[in-house]
Amino acid sequence: MGTAVLLAGFAFAPQPVLLVAPDGRVRGTNRRAANLFALDEGDSILDIAAGGRRAIADTLGKAATCSLPLPVALNCAGRRMLFTAWRVAGPLSPEIPLLVLQGDESGRMLHNLAAVDLQTDPTEGADPTWPRQKQQDMAAEAARLRRLSETDHLTGLLNARGLAARMRRDLAAPTAAGVVLYADLNGFKALNDRYGHAAGDAVLRAVGAALRDVVGGAGVAGRPGGDEFVLWCPGQDTDGLARLLSQTERAVAAPVSWQPPAGGARVALRATASVGGAAAPEDGATLDELLAVADARMYRCKSQRRAG
- Three-state DSSP at 234 gives strand
- Enclosing domain of residue 112: 2-149
The answer to whether residues 180 and 240 touch, using CB atoms and an 8 Å cutoff, is no
**Looking at the structure, do residues 215 and 253 belong to the same domain, yes or no?**
yes
In degrees, rounded to 5, the angle at the alpha carbon of residue 143 between the alpha carbons of residues 178 and 115 is: 90
* Residue 118, pLDDT above cutoff 50: no
Number of domains into which the chain is organized: 2
Which residue among 149, 172, 205 closes a domain?
149
Last residue in a domain, options 149, 176, 211:
149
167: in domain: yes
257 within a domain of the structure (yes/no): yes
Q: What is the mean pLDDT of residues 41-47?
A: 90
Model confidence at 31: pLDDT above 70: yes
Average per-residue pLDDT for the chain:
82
Q: Which CATH number is 275's domain given?
A: 3.30.70.270
Number of H helices, E strands in the chain: 10, 11
Residue 154 lies in a domain: no
Answer with the residue of higher pLDDT: 9 or 106: 9
Tell me how far apart the alpha carbons of residues 226 and 214 are, in angstroms, rounded to a whole number: 20
232 & 94 share domain: no
Task: Tell me which of 27 and 129 has the higher pLDDT.
Answer: 27
Q: Side chain identity at 283, as an amino acid letter?
A: D
**In sequence order, which ranges of the chain are alpha helices (DSSP H)?**
2-10, 31-36, 53-63, 108-114, 130-149, 160-171, 188-195, 197-215, 238-253, 287-307
User: Are residue 7 and residue 77 in the same domain, yes or no?
Assistant: yes
Are 98 and 19 a contacting pair, CB within 8 Å?
yes
At 123, the pLDDT band (50, 70, 90 cuts) reads very low
What per-residue confidence (pLDDT) applies to 131?
55
Taking only the tens place, the pLDDT of each residue in 226-249 is 899 999 999 998 888 999 999 999
Instruction: Give the torsion sign (CA, 86, 89, 92, 94).
Output: positive
- The residue-averaged pLDDT of 187-191 equals 92
| Domain match, 134 and 47 both | yes
